Chains A and B, each alone.
Chain A
């Protein structure tokens, strides 16, 4: 048995994903947070209002190398106050490829990603990303974790990361969840062969596909 899905491959030679907890620094994350990927889908749609609230995706992220470079930081200050540009270290990833699997509204997403409303980026605005889509059939058997970004579970491999799943449009609330990612650049975190996900489907190569939580900003619950 299998289910139809849209496989989206987003590739960028250079990408960086900032950790939002340290705004004074340029601390990088090893993979894009689901909220960033959700933002990419919203950019393709033109606005959050056009993104169905029930949309969910599974994702895997490949990276070939990581590095650190210097970026000139131009601080903004009070009007009339002169500021001095300063060099800052910036973590970046090289040779990145993000693979998404969508299992609902396939025609809609195939059309939007074919002609996105806004340019698509991975991380920084100057690093444009290329997008390819193809229809695939996912086997209804659990696949291997490999480079999938998955919700945390006790048998999962890789680094446990707390990433943003969704951010309200007015940025007043953020939903954080625990994820696991077997970073290919950290040998001791490699996902061992045969490490199967407890849920989801698999591609024809055996890659596990497990849906992440819904990412729409309207679903972020506010505390009363």
Chain B
């Protein structure tokens, strides 16, 4: 789809290639009670512009950003530094004068107001040039290296300018940073932004000084929640963009939730088995410092590749913790969820995954029959060379026990315990080898649970000691 100078003449607010303009355009549409920015007419546009100006002016009447009703004043530091809302000299003016200055800054642009340039984003006739005061992460008028000194910068039309003014309504604010959800899937972006506009409008209208409780990975949790609750299939990646336009420290961080991950996340809120295992996944990510739901959101959005390792450790802990079918069900469900994750999100080859799981099942059957301690696997899993030795020992045990009726009754012993190809996957595949080793480990423990094989008390204690040792090692490293 070609977008720049698209043939949508006559549309007041267009969607462009700029994620922040797009988020703002949908916020503007939400404030105008329209589903799509292109549906916003001239009257609604004027009304929303006036509403945004009133909100900004009302916030500016406060001198302190911590005062009730000053939400947009606080937000303005991170969005529009040097604007009329927060320059120090404004403090010497009365509340009325401050509000007036903001109204002047935000004076409505006449439909016929045109300069001899096209909007840099949508190609419509521009109404002026704008810099960092109006457009987040643009260059400031004073300091610039891309245009001549004193040039205000970006040519924008009324629609794009208003979209940037509406941006704070689309933002989730936390810790001095604004965050927006963005996707090229407009069917998703619309409702996601609408939900945030409702929240932000509530905060703007609130006269309470009570701040929302600080939680870890709050913006990641919001992103995950909006995605999992979305009622239609998503068709494009979803990005969480955290930014600040502050003079002290401009920042732009984009965390991309890939389309396969987005589809998988939605499935965890819809498919009953995955939904049931989701809380186990949250528990797997729980720590003393960060609640499970927050830590899981943080991992999924920022470092999804670490999920498998985290689950492997949790399953070790659960194996050592207690007995009973409840633990078995939890581990089985969790491992199935994990396997769906690596299959659908990390796009591990299905045949490779199946073969690794089969090796795990054979190892579990062997351990059950030979009464092998689970601790030996937990310890071996920590180091590739130890795991390789452990698998070699299992291969010998497999050969010795392959005629054993106890073993033949529960598994097919006609196959070799592990093939050279499978060994290569586990130890010679670079970064993916870690993933395969974790998958093997979780598959063995899940199969042991399915077979009802529980470590004895001594075994449990040794597993706990090994896990405690891991934690101590990590603390020493820090």
Contacts and interface: CB of A to CB of B under 8 A. Distances in A.
Interface of A: 21-25, 27, 73-79, 81, 83, 152, 154, 159-160, 162, 165, 172-178, 186-190, 192, 213, 220-224
Contacts of B138: 22-24
B140 A24 contact: yes
Contact of A177 (B1, B150, B245, B431): B1
B4 A188 contact: no
Contacts of B87: none
9 contacts: A77-B149, A78-B149, A160-B236, A162-B3, A162-B17, A173-B5, A186-B258, A188-B258, A188-B345
Contacts of B19: 21
The 10 closest A-B pairs by CB, nearest first: A75-B143, A223-B123, A176-B17, A22-B137, A162-B17, A176-B3, A188-B258, A223-B5, A24-B139, A176-B4
Interface string B10-34: 0000001111000000000000000
Interface in B227-277: 235-237, 245, 250, 252, 254, 256, 258-261
A165 B17 contact: no
Interface residues of B, number: 49
Given A24-B250, A76-B143, A188-B347, A177 B3 contact: yes
A188 B5 CA distance: 33
B457 interface: no
Nearest to A170: B117
Given A162-B17, A173-B118, A192-B347, A75 B5 contact: no
Contact of A175 (B5, B145, B431): B5
B89 interface: no
Contact of A178 (B184, B259, B347): B184
A75 B144 contact: yes
A31 B50 CA distance: 41
Contact of A222 (B120, B123, B235): B123
Interface of B: 1-5, 9, 16-19, 117-118, 120, 122-125, 132, 137-140, 142-146, 149-150, 153, 184, 235-237, 245, 250, 252, 254, 256, 258-261, 304-305, 345-347, 431
Contacts of A175: 2, 4-5
Given A76-B149, A172-B118, A188-B347, A221 B5 contact: yes
A192 B258 CA distance: 14
The SS class assigned to the B binding surface is loop
A174 to B, nearest CB: 5
A173 B142 CA distance: 25
B143 A77 contact: yes
Contacts of B346: 187-188
Contacts of B345: 188
A25 B18 CA distance: 14
Contacts of B2: 165, 175-177, 213
A190 B347 contact: yes
A23 B149 CA distance: 15
B258 A83 contact: no
A213 to B, nearest CB: 8
A21 B18 contact: yes
A8 B153 CA distance: 37
Nearest to A172: B118
Given A23-B153, A177-B3, A178-B184, 7 more contacts: A27-B252, A76-B143, A77-B143, A162-B17, A173-B4, A176-B2, A223-B118
Contacts of B347: 188, 190, 192
A161 to B, nearest CB: 9
Contacts of B150: 78
A23 B146 contact: yes
Q: Which of A74, A75, A154, A176 gathers the greatest number of chain B CB atoms within 10 Å?
A: A176
Q: Which of A74, A79, A174 gathers the greatest number of chain B CB atoms within 10 Å?
A: A174
A215 to B, nearest CB: 12
A159 to B, nearest CB: 6
Contacts of A189: 258
Contact of B237 (A159, A165, A176, A223): A159
Contact of B184 (A79, A160, A172): A160
A213 B254 CA distance: 28
A70 B2 CA distance: 35
A160 B345 CA distance: 16
Contacts of A154: 235
A166 B250 CA distance: 29
Nearest to A76: B145
Nearest to A162: B17
Q: Which of B4, B5, B305 gathers the greatest number of chain A CB atoms within 10 Å?
A: B4
